[in-house]
Each structure stands twice: as structure tokens, then as C-alpha cells.
Amino acid sequence: MRIARLLVRHEVRLLVSLALWVVRRTEGTRSGRAFGYARGQGAMMFGFGFVCLVETVAMSVLLRDWPTVHAVFLFLDVYGIVIVVALHASSVVRPHVLDPGDGSLRIRRYVHVDLRVPLERIASVRRELRMTHERADGELDVEVGSQTTVTLELTEPVTHLTFFGRRREVRVVRFHADDADGLVRALGRARV
């Protein structure tokens, strides 16, 4: 039952992100400076959406003689396309946020990841392009298009909640930002 609630909550948050994208609003950026990460995945998401659209048309042709099955698959296929667009929308409306006022950096990805890192816990920050990531204890890789561009090393761990609510303590966080150099400079100024 708990997993079903999490999945429904996830879908609702995606659809809210889609609505925010349509009206050109962002979520949680009022008091801080936003740093986007969606540009690195735009072409991939467009390609994925196009493949879903082709699959929808193909299934409609194949199932045209079975109206009930056709209706079910058409609904599922169209919903799948909406979710793909909503995933991209959630990346656009939920950027990373540097907020010196509250002393934190929010690292986000879709509606899955929202990690708040207190600025005083950042030991070092550097621009580091990585294309491969091996899973390791105490490390969190928030990839976009299989790459990360910023690495944070922390003085003490922060707690990351996984999609299903499992707690992980992380001391190294790698993530992607479209303007990685600008983010690293802004973090350097905010930490002083």
C-alpha cells in the first residue's frame, strides 16, 4: 500500500510539473538563484517521446480490429507520452537552487531527487566532467544524460531519501548543471 501511495504521489507531482511548465513557472526558486540542468537531456527526451509516439501509432494500426483492446492501449500509450513530457517538464521547473539566505544548495532531478546541502558542510566544490559513475557507499550521483559536471565533497554527511524512502548518508555528491562554471563560482562566493 505504501508503494502504491508513493507511485501515485510521484505521478501527481509529475503532472503538477507539467502544469507549471505550461504556465512558465518554477518550483521552489523564489528566494534563491536557479541553475538549470534540463538542457543536457532535451534531445534525449525528445527522441524518447518520438519513439513513444511512433509506438502509439503502430499499436493503433495493429489493434484497429479489436476496439476494446485498442482503446486500452491507446490510453496507456498517450499516458506514457504525457509522462515523458512531464519528466522533461519537471527538470525544467525544478532546477538546482543556491540560496545563501537560508544557507543551502538544493540539488534536484525530476521529482525524484531533492537534496538540501547546507553550505557550511561543503568542504570543496569543483567542476568535474564525469561520464561514468560506479555506485559507491557515501556517494550520490545525480546524472543527466549519463554525465555529471559538479562535484561536492562534504565535511559531514547529509541524508538523501531514495525514491522509496530509504535513507542514505552521503559525503560526496556529483550532479549536472548546464552552467557548471557559474554554479561553482556562485558557491565559492556564497561559502565565504
The domain spans of the chain are: 2-30+38-93, 96-191
CA separation for the pair 95, 110 (Å, rounded): 9
Flag whether pLDDT at 51 surpasses 70.
yes
Flag whether pLDDT at 159 surpasses 80.
yes
Nearest of 132, 131, 149, 117 to residue 39 by alpha carbon: 149
Q: Coil, strand or helix: which one is 179?
A: coil
Mean pLDDT throughout 21-49? Answer: 86
Length of the chain equals: 192
Flag whether pLDDT at 132 surpasses 80.
no
Whole-structure pTM value = 0.84
CA separation for the pair 1, 34 (Å, rounded): 36
The x, y and z cell numbers of residue 106, run together, are 538544493
The predicted structure's pLDDT at residue 192 = 67
The predicted structure's pLDDT at residue 177 = 92
Flag whether pLDDT at 144 surpasses 80.
yes
Cα dihedral 24→99→116→152 (10° resolution): 110
- How much of the chain, in percent, has pLDDT values that exceed 90? 53
| Spatial contact of 17 and 90, defined as CB atoms under 8 Å apart | yes
| Spatial contact of 171 and 139, defined as CB atoms under 8 Å apart | yes
The predicted structure's pLDDT at residue 106 = 92
Flag whether pLDDT at 4 surpasses 90.
no
